[in-house]
Structure 1
């Protein structure tokens, strides 16, 4: 089994699209003609992220369903440095964290971007890729 796609419902489609294309490095691609505005964003030829316009306001007093975060794995130091460059270039704030080594799993570097209220994007790589 593998992840097919993640859908993010947002009232700010433009900002979300720009982040995933300009910073995360996805490409905007074909999308079926649904009745609600949105975008399909591709990685390696697959529509990985579906952005959908939030047309219904959240109900007060109830917790709206959401995805806590989406994580993208970067496999090389070059990819990690390129991401950092794009974040700096566009003035995108982020936080970092580290996952210590556990058994055979090597230590990991994490980078978190709060894209919108309730939407966090994580990038993760082997710690040695994130060393300057």
Structure 2
């Protein structure tokens, strides 16, 4: 079993699309003609992220269900440097964290971007690839 896709419902799907295409490096692709606006964003040739325009006003509450974050794993130092090369000039803020080595799992570097209230995007890579 594998993750098929994630869906984010947002009042501003175009801004989210720009982030995921211009910063995260996904590509916009074909999408069926649904009755609500949105975008399908592709990763490695597959539609991995669906952005859908919210059709109702946001409701807040202490127990409102939400997606905590989406995580994208980068595999090479070149991918990591390219990501940083897009984040910084675009003025996109982020927080970084390190995950220490745990048994056979190597240490990792993480970047967290607050895309919108309640929507966090994580980028993660093996620490040795994140070192300049």
Q: State whether TM-score is above 0.5.
A: yes
Aligned counterparts of 2:83 and 2:123: Cα–Cα separation in 1? 9
**1:65-121: CA deviation from partner (whole Å, max 9, x where unpaired):** 211000000000000000000001211000000000000000000000000001000
- 2:129 maps to which residue? 129
Matched, 1:110 2:106: no
1:62 is displaced (CA, Å) by: 5.9
- CA 61–90 in structure 1, closer or farther in 2 if over 3 Å, else same: closer
**1:18-66: CA deviation from partner (whole Å, max 9, x where unpaired):** 0000000000001111111100000111000000011112335464321
Equivalent residues in 2 for 1:14-25, closer than 5 Å? 14-25=14-25
- 1:12 maps to which residue? 12
For the 8 Å contact 1:58–1:64, the answer to whether it is kept is no
- Structure 2 segments unaligned to the other structure (5+ residues): none
Secondary structure of the 1:41 match is strand
1:6 is displaced (CA, Å) by: 0.3
Aligned residues: 132
- 2:120 maps to which residue? 120
* TM-score under structure 2 length normalisation: 0.96
* TM-score under structure 1 length normalisation: 0.96
Secondary structure of the 2:57 match is coil
- 2:82 maps to which residue? 82
